[in-house]
Amino acid sequence: MADRDTEMDLDETLQIIGIGEFTALFQDYKHYVMLSLMGSLLPYKSRHVFGSKQWKPKIADCKEGIVLKVELAGDVETAVATKIEKLQSVEVPVQPFIIVVGSGASIQQIYVYIFGELYSAATVLKRHRHCF
pLDDT digits (tens, 9 = 90+) for 66-81: 889 999 999 999 999 9
Confidence of residue 104 (pLDDT cuts 50, 70, 90): confident
Q: Concatenated DSSP letters for 3-42? A: -TTT---HHHHHHHTT-GGGHHHHHHHHHHHHHHHHHHHS
* Mutual angle of helices 23-41 and 124-131, in 10-degree steps: 40
Residue 115 CA neighbour count, 13 Å, CB half: 1
How far apart are alpha carbons 77 and 84 in whole angstroms? 11
CA distances from 47 to 43, 55, 58, 123 (A): 12, 6, 11, 33
Instruction: Encode burial over 103-131: b for 16+ CB neighbours within 10 A, e otherwise.
Output: eeeebeebbbbeeeeeeebeebbebbeee
pLDDT digits (tens, 9 = 90+) for 35-51: 888 777 776 777 777 77
| Whole-prediction pTM | 0.69
Confidence of residue 82 (pLDDT cuts 50, 70, 90): very high
Q: Measuring CA to CA, which residue among 102, 93, 101 is closest to residue 65?
A: 93
pLDDT digits (tens, 9 = 90+) for 4-17: 544 456 556 555 54
CB atoms within 10 A of CB 98: 25
